[in-house]
Amino acid sequence: MDKVQQEHIAGYLAKARAKLRVARELVKQHEWDDVVSRAYYAAFHAAQAVLLAEGHQAETHRGLLTLFSLVLVKTGKFEKKWGKFLANLKDDREAGDYEALSYLDEQTAGRALAEAEEFVEKVEDFLGQRSK
């Protein structure tokens, strides 16, 4: 892995952590749609980081889901639940961002944030193990 690739991976992880911080602040304001959106983007950036470490770059959100499944889930590097998590969180984010009447509530937002935090930690652990 070259220096530029390492910098991009670090940048994606920094973005993931920043999105989680913003999501935690939005919880205090009861902005459930935006909590879910920030949780999604935290997971999205973490997934981009791990895919890049594996030599892949997603060009679209759908592409990220596909690559994550093929490169990381089907190979057993990540549990199947994380592929489903990303797909479900993407759907929730789109509902919150684009639907006139959102079904996202405190419970959904709290779960999204907690799972995104766990996912980012899993990615960081995986990348830490890879570099040893």
**Residue 130: is its pLDDT beyond 70?**
no
**Residue 34: is its pLDDT beyond 90?**
yes
When the pLDDT of each residue in the chain is averaged and rounded to a whole number, the result is 96
- Supply the pLDDT for residue 132: 47
Closest CA to 30 of 102, 115, 91, 78: 102
pLDDT band for position 1 (50/70/90)?
confident
pTM attached to this predicted model: 0.94
The CA–CA distances, whole Å, from 55 to 37, 43, 130 equal 27, 18, 13
Residues contacting 108, CB < 8 A, separation 6+: 32, 36, 92
Q: How far is residue 34 CA from its own chain's centroid?
A: 14
pLDDT band for position 21 (50/70/90)?
very high
**Residue 131: is its pLDDT beyond 70?**
no
Mean pLDDT to the nearest integer, 22-40: 98
Closest CA to 81 of 48, 118, 109: 118
- Give Rg (Cα) of the chain: 14
Structural domains of the chain sorted by starting position, each given as residue range(s) with its CATH number in brackets: 3-130 (1.20.120.330)
